[in-house]
Amino acid sequence: MSADARFTVPLYTASSAASHVAMPRSTLNRWMGRDQLLTSVSGRGRQPRLPFIGLVEAQFYKGLRNTGLSMQAINSGMVEVRRALGDRMLAKGVIAHDGKDILMNLADRGDPDWVRARDRQGGLPEIIEIGLKPIEWAADGLPQRVRLIAYGDNMVAADPRVALGQPFVVSSGARVEDIIDLFRAGEDLATVSHEMGVNPRDVEAIVRAHLPLAA
């Protein structure tokens, strides 16, 4: 395991991470536990357990599900990807999918050497889609910022260098957590928008993502 803070500093609880990637908490807990698909650190009770990279992984898997990949394909593929690539499994240019299976690039340099992760089969047809579009990479090729697609329109991101790693509105720097707290305290959308310096439509989208019956 890397000593990099992106991998080791717990920032998100299972509940908050599930909200940020718009998935059932039970699924995220299964990925953290039995399936061992998410990078996590030890913790008790409601303490944060997911570091930044764990949130990136969760969104990546959710994105794969959104494209129609089955949980079986994700589980079997990503177990092999993690085994082969370790901490660099989400590095730029090393993972993709073809609409049915997870693919990984095993070439250290030069032309990509794409193989199907679950059985290392090569000679694959053209890749349909690279699965890491919302990620911005650091100079070391590993994820540094991720746009959270659950909020739409690329307006919310998580970045361990900003807001202590908590999701924030890119245009203003306001933390999602603070927006939700104000709304839960009884402020209306217009007041939250004014107080946080966030477009009213963006405030409503954030509130609806966390509190679907609200607004």
Give the domain range for residue 31.
Answer: 5-170
Contact 117, 102 (CB under 8 A): yes
Is 204 domain-assigned?
Answer: no
**Residue ranges of the chain whose pLDDT lies below 70:** 1-2, 45, 109-110, 124-131, 212-215
Contact 21, 62 (CB under 8 A): yes
Is 209 domain-assigned?
Answer: no
Is 188 domain-assigned?
Answer: no
Instruction: Indicate the number of domains in the chain.
Output: 1
Is 103 domain-assigned?
Answer: yes
Is 63 domain-assigned?
Answer: yes
Round to whole Å and give the CA distance between 39 and 58.
9
CA angle 20, 69, 15 (to 5 degrees): 20
Is 195 domain-assigned?
Answer: no
Contact 176, 166 (CB under 8 A): yes
> pLDDT tens digits for 90-137?
988 888 887 788 888 888 766 778 888 988 888 765 665 555 778 999
Is 82 domain-assigned?
Answer: yes
Contact 187, 203 (CB under 8 A): no
Is 113 domain-assigned?
Answer: yes
Round to whole Å and give the CA distance between 40 and 47.
12
pLDDT score of 215: 47
Contact 67, 97 (CB under 8 A): yes
Angstrom CA distances, 212 to 119, 125, 170, stand at: 41, 41, 22
Of the candidates 207, 192, 193, 197, the residue with the CA atom closest to the CA atom of residue 152: 207
| Partner residues linked to 135 by β-bridges | 146
CA angle 141, 136, 85 (to 5 degrees): 40
pLDDT score of 3: 81
Residue with tokens 């933390």: 175
